Amino acid sequence: MEELKVYGGNPLIGELSVQGAKNSSLPLLAAAVLVKGKTVLHNCPRLRDVEIAFQIMRHLGCIVKREDDTVEIDSTTISCSEIPEVLMGEMRSSIVFLGAIVARTGMATVNFPGGCELGPRPIDLHLACLRQLGILIDEHNGILDCSIDKLKGSKITLSFPSVGATENAILAACTAEGETIITNAAAEPEIVDLACFLNRCGAKIYGAGEKTIVIQGVSRLQASEYRVIPDRIALVTWLCAGAITGGELLLKQIVPEHIEGVLPFLEQTGVKLLVDHHNIYLRSTGKLNAMSAIRTMPYPGFPTDAQPMMMALASKAAGTTVFVENIFENRYKHAVELTKMGADITLEGKVAVVEGVPTLSGARVRATDLRSGAALVVAGLAAEGITYISDPYHIDRGYEPIEETLCQLGAVMSRIK
């Protein structure tokens, strides 16, 4: 079993280019299954979830090669339409392959997906979208058997702007006969990235990033070359780490517009931020102020994935910060772990009240999911003493080796057995 060993008290100082986006890479890899030929993706991050996606693609018959941050996928010889249960159980995002596989092969057999335990996250919206496009889905014993006679465009209205359901609908609708209109669609940057890639491959997708997306079906798609957008949640993580440690960072190759819902709260803590088109400079004294109430919302609101790291930051900010979690029911597991480090956090349903404390103390804590693990790293960097974080494989799902990244900036941490 592995642990991360984090020594607190070292300010983060230096420059860092932000990795490619996890939440964009996975649907782009699914899109590479849909198109025929060799897809080349640049800025594809080295993540556990990405490696699982590679395993899924190889099982389907794709040839996958990686060199540094560039990945080449040859989907010409896809020979399988089934994803093994063990791979579906490794990550929730595996469900995004469903629409692509059915559209490419005419059938698919998959199990219900696994991933972080953040409370009920039913895939009903995914299945409803696919059924409206003409896909027949038989659910039995946790297995989904899917087939089509013909994909047909449809009018789809989502009851909630689900990112995954929007992605699955886009992937399946690209080669459907006729027009598909998705209303109340998710507007996240990762949706825009998927649409941009598919349009480069010959799709006709309009309105990505808005609440209504229109897709004109085409008969075929041609593989292309593309660069993955930078990871906005990793960016927020490094900003929180720099702020809580009294650091000075220049974060490069980023898109500031992607975190416009977060930047005002960071500024409220008293850190200095300078933003241009592709960079953010942060300077912090380490003396932080509490923030106004943070409510997680679909994009362009405050992202739920950024909430745990911001809570770690708030735990050392003078005053009271209130969090309201509106996306996931079970997103406060990190709060329990932070209290082991001396944080003062009160939970009541979807509300968390954080009273800033002068000092956090190193402790033995556990990463219960991807972002909770990142929050514990942020807290550990500013704590007195040593913090041991167990189950770091959760963190590896969304961050390139986090100890290597942070040690470049002056952190003292390592991965131990």
Chain segment 98-109, per-residue pLDDT in tens? 999 999 999 999
* pLDDT tens-digit map of 136-188: 999 988 889 999 989 999 999 999 999 999 999 999 999 999 999 999 999 99
Q: What is the pLDDT of residue 122?
A: 67
Residue 54: which domain range?
22-227
Q: Is the pLDDT of residue 121 over 80?
A: no
Asked if residues 403 and 5 have their Cβ atoms less than 8 Å apart, the reply is no
23 annotated to bind ligand:
yes
Instruction: From 176, 199, 227, give the residue that closes a domain.
Output: 227
Same domain assignment for residues 200 and 247? no
Q: What is the pLDDT of residue 115?
A: 46
Same domain assignment for residues 137 and 266? no
Mean pLDDT of 262-279: 97
Of 44, 62, 80, 116, the catalytic one is 116
3-state secondary structure of 375: helix
Same domain assignment for residues 341 and 237? yes
* pLDDT tens-digit map of 318-350: 999 999 999 988 899 999 999 999 999 999 999
Instruction: From 201, 227, 253, give the residue that closes a domain.
Output: 227
Residue 141: partners with Cβ closer than 8 Å, 6 or more residues away: none
189 annotated to bind ligand:
no
Q: Is the pLDDT of residue 116 over 50?
A: no
The predicted model scores a pTM of 0.95
- Percent of the chain having pLDDT more than 70? 98
Same domain assignment for residues 280 and 171? no
Same domain assignment for residues 12 and 53? no
Q: What is the pLDDT of residue 114?
A: 57
Q: Which two tokens stand for residue 392?
A: 């770091």
Which residue has 């889905």 as its token pair? Answer: 137
Same domain assignment for residues 119 and 207? yes
381 annotated to bind ligand:
no
Please classify residue 160 by burial: count the beta carbons closer than 10 Å to its beta carbon, then call 0-12 exposed, 13-18 middle and 19+ buried: exposed
Phi, psi (rounded to 5 degrees) for 359: -140, 135
Same domain assignment for residues 12 and 61? no
Same domain assignment for residues 9 and 27? no
Beta-strand relationship, 412-416 and 3-7: antiparallel
Q: What is the pLDDT of residue 68?
A: 96
* pLDDT tens-digit map of 280-298: 999 999 999 999 999 999 9
Residue 86: partners with Cβ closer than 8 Å, 6 or more residues away: none
Same domain assignment for residues 14 and 74? no
Q: What is the pLDDT of residue 90?
A: 82
* pLDDT tens-digit map of 15-70: 999 999 999 999 999 999 999 999 999 999 999 999 999 999 999 999 999 999 99
Q: What is the pLDDT of residue 92?
A: 73
Instruction: From 227, 254, 271, give the residue that closes a domain.
Output: 227
Q: Which two tokens stand for residue 377?
A: 């790293």
Q: What is the pLDDT of residue 120?
A: 41
pLDDT band at residue 225, thresholds of 50, 70 and 90? very high
Beta-strand relationship, 288-289 and 294-295: unpaired
DSSP 230: B
Sheet architecture: strand order including 204-206: 155-157, 179-183, 212-216, 204-206
Instruction: Say which CATH number the domain at 283 has.
Output: 3.65.10.10
**CA-based nearest residue to 268, from 301, 284, 246, 290:** 290
CA 253 centroid distance within chain: 18
327 annotated to bind ligand:
yes
Q: What is the pLDDT of residue 141?
A: 86
Same domain assignment for residues 247 and 355? yes
Q: What is the pLDDT of residue 36?
A: 92
Q: Which two tokens stand for residue 171?
A: 């992937």
Instruction: Give the C-alpha separation, 331 to 305, whole Å.
Output: 9
Same domain assignment for residues 52 and 157? yes
pLDDT band at residue 272, thresholds of 50, 70 and 90? very high
- Helices 48-60 and 97-105 meet at what angle, rounded to 10? 20
Asked if residues 119 and 330 have their Cβ atoms less than 8 Å apart, the reply is yes
Indicate the average pLDDT of the chain.
Answer: 95
pLDDT band at residue 413, thresholds of 50, 70 and 90? very high
Q: Which two tokens stand for residue 230?
A: 């930078």
45 annotated to bind ligand:
no
Q: Is the pLDDT of residue 123 over 50?
A: yes
Looking at the structure of the chain, the number of domains it has is 2
First to last CA, the chain: 6
DSSP 222: B
Q: What is the pLDDT of residue 363?
A: 98
22 annotated to bind ligand:
yes
Same domain assignment for residues 208 and 236? no
Active site residue 116: yes
Secondary structure element (H or E) that encloses residue 334, with its range: helix 333-340
* pLDDT tens-digit map of 182-215: 999 999 999 999 999 999 999 999 999 999 999 9
Q: What is the pLDDT of residue 367?
A: 98
